[in-house]
């Protein structure tokens, strides 16, 4: 806003095919309202409407909308405009301030959103000014994470199905790293989707399948092991039922193959984009952070250094910092339920991985367990500390230092505590 006083506020009620616009002044008077289409012509009409009421590159009109994604938001975020993504639940609370009938209308919601900025803009956070590179990493990292979750879901379906009629396949592949997601498992199950077909596989067929799956070493030994497992004695379904299960397995394997391929392709794209980002070296210097996990952390925290005023804001956003509620004589400290779930999930993986690569992290975790924390509590506390260190390193542009990050308390601090 370039230090100038804001006198016009815009609210947009977003919908799939059209959007309702409302502009109000600082006294709450409705200046304009309009409905635009969800296309380039509609976006152009919106920008022209804003320009008519004083919008300029030096003093852009702030906008409130109930979403943070989409082409409309991208069109609004050009330049230095502040765009506020208002939670629909919060907007519904504001709606009750203007009427008790609880009626809802799209133009009325646009007016409510505009008035939210007019009265309470200081308590709402605008969308971060992340670079285009960081936004691209966010798209790819989230897509890769979704692909991994989808792969896991289909893999669990296959595992449950095999338990119904093909336990030999579970014994053959589940003990291996990657389990059913291994390419060897997918190739052999596609070639022998039933126990009868699996027991008929010869050594040459198994060797050929293993090589087709990319195996180079230990082909003979693995083929011998698989033949022994697949020909062992197990309980069997009737032949007709077994064949029906086999058809179902083949259908699931097609989805599984696509999910595994999508996960691998997106992982390569994440790797290429993330390593080119200026923050990559700092993130990868932290224990427990590989490329994929570090990219997920960057995707959710962004590279706008002004997004969080201090480390406490980042910790609250990630849900690692506890929340305190006090009323009268009651005092409650508990975990946060409202948080960035993707960052919170990445945090548990990060904290768990750091235990094996950082003596300081391991000592911190053991200290929290000795104090009585459960495993999840100790991990969350470790994640909370790692986030504080990450905030410091990104702000100061320095790499992670194990000795400074987990330095033992000084004698003066111990004396003060005593």
Residue 143 lies in a domain: yes
User: Is residue 264 located within the same domain as residue 326?
Assistant: no
User: Is residue 311 located within the same domain as residue 210?
Assistant: no
Instruction: Give the global pTM.
Output: 0.86
Residue 327 lies in a domain: yes
User: Is residue 33 located within the same domain as residue 76?
Assistant: yes
Of 107, 127, 147, the one marking the end of a domain is 127
User: Is residue 297 located within the same domain as residue 394?
Assistant: yes
User: Is residue 165 located within the same domain as residue 290?
Assistant: no
What domain range includes position 395? 279-406
Residue 321 lies in a domain: yes
Closest CA to 296 of 147, 76, 100, 95: 147
User: Is residue 288 located within the same domain as residue 269?
Assistant: no
| pLDDT attached to residue 413 | 42
| pLDDT attached to residue 326 | 76
Cα distance between residue 301 and residue 20, in whole Å: 31
User: Is residue 61 located within the same domain as residue 167?
Assistant: no
| pLDDT attached to residue 409 | 59
Name the burial class of residue 415, with classes exposed (0-12), middle (13-18) and buried (19+) by CB atoms within 10 angstroms of its CB. Answer: exposed
User: Is residue 225 located within the same domain as residue 155?
Assistant: yes
Residue 411 lies in a domain: no
| pLDDT attached to residue 101 | 63
3-state secondary structure of 263: helix
Of 242, 273, 304, the one marking the end of a domain is 273
User: Is residue 146 located within the same domain as residue 184?
Assistant: yes
User: Is residue 306 located within the same domain as residue 390?
Assistant: yes
Residue 417 lies in a domain: no
**Tokens 């994470």, residue located:** 145
Name the burial class of residue 321, with classes exposed (0-12), middle (13-18) and buried (19+) by CB atoms within 10 angstroms of its CB. Answer: buried
User: Is residue 47 located within the same domain as residue 64?
Assistant: yes
Whether the Cβ atoms of residue 113 and residue 65 lie closer than 8 Å to each other: yes
The tokens for 213 are 């799956």
User: Is residue 222 located within the same domain as residue 325?
Assistant: no
Residue 415 lies in a domain: no
Of 77, 101, 127, the one marking the end of a domain is 127
Q: Please list the rounded mean pLDDT of every run of 10 residues in the chain (418 residues).
A: 69 90 92 92 92 89 91 88 89 76 78 92 90 95 96 96 95 90 94 95 94 92 94 93 96 96 96 96 96 96 92 92 78 75 94 94 95 93 95 95 80 41
Cα distance between residue 383 and residue 318, in whole Å: 9
Count structural domains, the chain: 3
């Amino acid at each position: 806003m370039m230090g100038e006083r804001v006198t016009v506020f815009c609210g947009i009620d977003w919908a799939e095919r059209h959007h309702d616009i409302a502009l109000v002044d600082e006294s709450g008077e409705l200046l304009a309202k309009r409905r635009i289409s969800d296309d380039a012509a509609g976006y152009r009409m919106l920008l022209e409407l804003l320009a008519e009421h004083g919008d300029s590159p030096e003093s852009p009109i702030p906008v409130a909308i109930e979403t943070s994604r989409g082409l409309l938001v991208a069109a609004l975020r050009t330049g230095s405009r502040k765009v506020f993504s208002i939670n629909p639940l919060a907007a519904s609370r504001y709606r009750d301030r203007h009427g008790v009938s609880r009626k809802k209308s799209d133009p009325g919601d646009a007016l409510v959103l505009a008035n939210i900025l007019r009265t309470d803009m200081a308590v709402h956070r605008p969308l971060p000014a992340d670079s285009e590179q960081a936004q691209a990493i966010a798209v790819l990292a989230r897509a890769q994470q979704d692909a991994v979750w989808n792969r896991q879901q289909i893999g669990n379906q296959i595992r449950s199905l095999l338990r119904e009629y093909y336990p030999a396949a579970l014994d053959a592949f589940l003990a291996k790293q990657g389990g059913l997601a291994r390419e060897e498992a997918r190739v052999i199950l596609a070639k022998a989707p039933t126990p009868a077909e699996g027991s008929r596989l010869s050594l040459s067929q198994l060797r050929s399948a293993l090589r087709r799956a990319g195996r180079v070493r230990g082909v003979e030994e693995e083929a011998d092991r698989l033949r022994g497992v697949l020909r062992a004695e197990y309980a069997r379904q009737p032949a007709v039922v077994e064949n029906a299960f086999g058809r179902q397995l083949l259908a699931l394997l097609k989805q599984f193959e696509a999910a595994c391929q999508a996960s691998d392709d997106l992982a390569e794209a994440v790797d290429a984009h993330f390593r080119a980002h200026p923050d990559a070296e700092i993130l990868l210097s932290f224990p427990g952070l590989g490329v994929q996990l570090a990219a997920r952390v960057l995707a959710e925290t962004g590279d706008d250094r002004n997004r969080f005023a201090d480390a406490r804001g980042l910790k609250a956003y990630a849900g690692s910092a506890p929340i305190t509620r006090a009323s009268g004589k009651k005092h409650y400290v508990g975990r946060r339920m409202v948080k960035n779930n993707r960052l919170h999930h990445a945090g548990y993986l990060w904290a768990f991985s750091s235990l094996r690569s950082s003596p300081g992290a391991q000592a911190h975790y053991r200290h929290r367990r000795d104090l009585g924390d459960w495993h999840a509590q100790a991990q969350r506390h470790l994640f909370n500390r790692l986030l504080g260190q990450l905030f410091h390193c990104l702000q100061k542009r320095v790499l992670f230092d194990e000795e400074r990050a987990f330095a033992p308390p000084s004698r003066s601090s111990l004396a003060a505590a005593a």
